[in-house]
Structure 1
Amino acid sequence: MQRLMIADGSDVVRKVGKRILSELGFVVVEAASAQEAVSRCRAEIPGLLIVDAALEGALDLIAQVRAMPNGKGVRIFYCVIEADLKKMMVGKRAGADDFLLKPFDRKILTSVFAGLAQAA
């Protein structure tokens, strides 16, 4: 099973995301802060990472994951509240591969991640 990490300061967002993504077949790990996410990634790098743009240190987290051994292989989703092109480009420059709009729900997560769960 593919390992996925959700780095978000909101307990509710992490719990809902974990429940939905676990049902899709992912092993989901949660991190409430950028520091916790970096620490968990050092212990075991995930295949996929969802990073909330509002998380303090979000861009540093992305850059640090990219610098880790095997960090280039992590598919990173930068989670933004609105399709703000400037914020999305900053995330892209930091190393994000793709974007998710918040708030997300079962339909959105299933459409984005169902194919990725099967590909693992």
Structure 2
Amino acid sequence: MILPPLLLATLIASSCFTTFAFAATLLPNDEVDALEEIAHTLGKTDWNFTADPCSQQWGWATQNSSRGFENNVTCDCSFSNNTVCHVVSIVLKSQNLSGVLPELGKLPYLKEMY
């Protein structure tokens, strides 16, 4: 009788650890602020700031190849023992955005802006 409760406790503990590990990955506030500033300056209204920009969820990674449309924010989450992410690429293709990009100094790991 002790094996099922022990097995259940192990499964619950591993599930909580996995959830905690994913929740602990963090994009620094400066980089979130920079993305918000880019969105505001360019009039980009479809980025989903209720979701983690590194999540590839709706609002952060969309593509329509028939129109050449691409919206993608890519992060590298291998910093600080896989607990910190940094934006490394922003692709905003065929979106008719206008305006001047703000200073990108808050995105020190950015390698590509298309």
| Structure-2-length-normalised TM-score | 0.32
Rg: which structure is higher?
2
**TM value normalised by structure 1:** 0.31
**Higher helix proportion (structure 1 or 2):** 1
